[in-house]
């Protein structure tokens, strides 16, 4: 998913339901649900598969 799709979906939910708290699940079956506590972080995925937050050209956004 790209950032513009996520933003559009979130804006639609806010308009319909109001300013709700944000949570995340550890998997798609919601076996563990936690609150989102931090602002989204731009990151760059390296060739080794690890993500680096010290980047001027991010490739991904992490929500928690």
**Interval 26-58: pLDDT, tens:** 888 989 999 999 989 999 998 898 999 888 899
pLDDT at 28 (0 to 100):
86
pLDDT tens profile 10-26: 999 999 999 999 999 98
Band of the pLDDT at 64, cuts 50, 70, 90? confident
Enter the pTM of the model.
Answer: 0.72
Q: Are 46 and 57 in contact (CB under 8 A)?
A: no
Looking at residue 41, its pLDDT comes to 92
Q: Residue 34: CB partners within 8 Å, gap ≥ 6?
A: 23, 24, 26, 64
Buried b / exposed e over 20-56, threshold 16 CB at 10 Å, is eeeeeeeeeeeeeeeeeeeeeeebeeeeeeeeeeeee
């Amino acid at each position: 998913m790209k950032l513009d799709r996520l933003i559009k979906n979130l804006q639609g939910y806010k308009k319909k339901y109001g300013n709700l708290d944000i949570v995340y699940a550890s998997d798609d079956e919601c076996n563990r649900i936690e609150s989102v506590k931090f602002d989204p972080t731009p990151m760059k995925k390296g060739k080794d598969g690890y993500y680096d937050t010290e980047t001027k050209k991010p490739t991904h956004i992490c929500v928690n």
